[in-house]
Structure 1
């Protein structure tokens, strides 16, 4: 009984606590009221190339189009008066296209796990997107993969008949308003209240991804004479961009424009090392002998002894291998002085250095046999790699010069037309050097396949990478127009498609 009495005070406190225990309701947070500021998002039109279309993993496909940065922007705009955003969807998630039933482009890439290791591989199946099956527009996403700046202005660029002749673009041919239409006339005809313009990447990118095999057309203002892999003259680029902005702002539309990233920062040029060749001692000794590169080196030394080439030229062109890892590949370098007039065997070749950028597609064959019946025909060793597989320092300089001129034009036109401006060049550099930390503790980087920022083609962003771009556009729009759009969460989008 004494023990019971001893418990009564605590029991009383418990009952009092129960009587005073009331449910405290947490008030609902005040809903954010999003505003467009001085912008009008009611009719948004996006103009550009593959980066605007949502191209990734070496193809355009439905899921990628849904994850395009303009579609993300449109979802944000809808919070502040934005209207519908129509996309010219591909017919499936494979990505391949046909023209008259004949395949003209391949499917998207996936990371396949093969006995030899993981490798980007086209997804199986036949794409059901037939170019001649015209879609009824208009469409708000006017991103056209492959288009150069001046091509966005070209009449007939969406002609189905022109696709087979190489004068038109198959992606635009699917949804152009007519056989004679241009991308910019179809875009301007929609009377946009707001637009985004990101164009010019292909004016230097195709030269770079082709290993510099094109021509730097600076000084040539006639694009009709250009080849696909040429660098566009900066004046041609500036005129094209100005004409597009004139057309899009004619009715007072607001907009946002982005500059161009340095293409040499993308995984396409930063993944394959210049020195991936392992050799045993016997093979290295043979390669250095007079039966292999020793004779080539001796010919160079002879010319240097005669004063026909400098000691610096001799050192640059001398080829030497050693046992172990880290042997540099042998490349053809068209920028070297032609010595074949002195000795036909002294072709323009040298070993790559850390200043050379090997293109991503070279990783599939470096170290393999060019001739299965000839064990000495190792690509990158016994067989030099062609110029298309490497971007040399001289070619990188041409890219850098054009990029600088283009970006000066974009910044000037953004100010002249009073548009929001996105510094995509700095953004990509940040993605390469450090990356973007996320709420879950992960970091999105530009590392090929694992970084989450780029797709498997090494050129185009992944959906997560496009989300980071979309946030950069949102930030620029908010700063310019006084809107308070929230942006998107990159973690809501995949960094790598696994099927």
Structure 2
């Protein structure tokens, strides 16, 4: 797959001069503004959440990404108004990835490879760093840690005792990232936060409660969290964090189907010449003929028959997918096949094998003669499931904001702005396209360092408004879009 790459950088310079003349040739001086916290108390700040709090980017957790994590950026500004020390469970290096008993359970980070050959096939694009992870789960780090962002965590995981038990990582009962930093084998994320008596907190959780379902193509191997469970978990988290009078910030959950992980791979990425198209159509002739027969029997409507009919032509073609929402025609020997449409979302990893041969058999081509399984595609009904759950979760979050009089960052609205043409951050544009959009890192899910900085500024703005602080904003130029291959 060729991804069109183009830097979109808005550059401008502002020059101004101020000339002042006076009889005594003196110049005016201005006092430096004193930074205040308003009614907030930043002396002990804790951040709870998932990978978005941890600083996960480019498909991994690594030192440079953690340095540019959203909470770490915030803590730097909080320090200007009385904020205390902010500690993070820093990984060993900038390789990324993680091991358990020496076995790799998390891959190294991605980097952008620029192919020096401009002629096709140009192989520029994201690549996995060729290195071995050195961060070992069982090599524990000592806290307490102010940044309790745990990659992979769902809402209810933050309340679960034993979620950081090393012995439970291999069976999926514990989280490797929390295991290396938990205060004990039966600790909970919330418990490790509360023992620090926080005076201020940020909580951004809930994305994974729908993201897991989306990443699996909605095949139900990772179900959306039940709304009752989410409500209980989220309410418990906020009640615990505010019990002793701490103030803080809550974040909404964006519409994840608009992020590059789900929008980069086109529905019709299969090029084909006329001869090949004719050959493939012959292979689907019996299937298409069977659809005509079952329509005549009244088993499906004419509309569904048309939607299921598979036809390839010269040029680019839609992939063939399995759609479990289609009428079950197994009694007639017909599978649930159709070609994708613009409404379908192919997940990013599918780009690595669409159009390739299965087991080197030239007649078995992924996405053509071998339909893509449900786990590689989000069909309309699955997208609707995500939208419905996200709306329900955000209603719970907004209710907690209002009930506890907390600050609120509408991350959903911010992502919508980025997706609808982009936003301006200082002299730069942030857009949602993969690689060169600037907002999302190479994994298509997590922000770049500059994206995290933008989110930090939006957080600082709501804190200033809600609590009467005057925390300064950070500068876009101080945060990179890419981490180089040689970063170690």
The TM-score with structure 2 as length reference comes to 0.92
Aligned residues: 460
C-alpha displacement at 1:22, in angstroms?
Answer: 10
**2:331 alignment partner, SS class:** coil
Q: Do residues 82 (structure 1) and 83 (structure 2) align?
A: yes
Q: 1:104 to 1:26 in 2, by over 3 A?
A: farther
Look up the match of 1:388: 375
Q: Do residues 401 (structure 1) and 402 (structure 2) align?
A: no
Look up the match of 1:314: 305
Q: How does 1:337-486 map to 2 (within 5 A)?
A: 337-342=327-332, 344=333, 346-372=334-360, 374-440=361-427, 442-486=428-472
Decide which of 286, 297, 301 is 1:295's aligned counterpart: 286
CA contact (8 A) 2:141 2:180 kept: yes
Structure label with greater radius of gyration? 1
Residues 106-127 of structure 1: per-residue CA shift (max 9 Å, x gap): 1001112357411211112211
**1:445 and 1:62 mapped to 2: Cα distance?**
25
**2:91 and 2:27 mapped to 1: Cα distance?**
47
Q: Do residues 334 (structure 1) and 324 (structure 2) align?
A: yes
Residues 359-386 of structure 1: per-residue CA shift (max 9 Å, x gap): 01111111121231x2222211111111
**1:377 and 1:98 mapped to 2: Cα distance?**
36
**1:262 and 1:97 mapped to 2: Cα distance?**
29
Look up the match of 2:16: none
C-alpha displacement at 1:26, in angstroms?
Answer: 5.3
What do you get for the CA RMSD once the two structures are aligned? Answer: 1.6
Q: Do residues 154 (structure 1) and 160 (structure 2) align?
A: yes
C-alpha displacement at 1:490, in angstroms?
Answer: 2.0
Decide which of 272, 276, 301 is 1:279's aligned counterpart: 272
**1:48 and 1:162 mapped to 2: Cα distance?**
20
**1:334 and 1:24 mapped to 2: Cα distance?**
82
C-alpha displacement at 1:28, in angstroms?
Answer: 4.4
**2:285 and 2:170 mapped to 1: Cα distance?**
49
Q: Do residues 270 (structure 1) and 263 (structure 2) align?
A: yes
Q: 1:462 to 1:24 in 2, by over 3 A?
A: farther
Decide which of 235, 245, 250 is 1:242's aligned counterpart: 235
The TM-score with structure 1 as length reference comes to 0.90
Residues 381-433 of structure 1: per-residue CA shift (max 9 Å, x gap): 11111111110001001001100000000001111011001100000111111
**2:269 and 2:397 mapped to 1: Cα distance?**
39
CA contact (8 A) 2:270 2:355 kept: yes
**1:376 alignment partner, SS class:** strand
Unaligned ranges ≥5, structure 2: 1-20, 116-120
Decide which of 189, 199, 205 is 1:199's aligned counterpart: 205
**2:68 and 2:27 mapped to 1: Cα distance?**
36
C-alpha displacement at 1:476, in angstroms?
Answer: 1.2
CA contact (8 A) 2:47 2:201 kept: yes
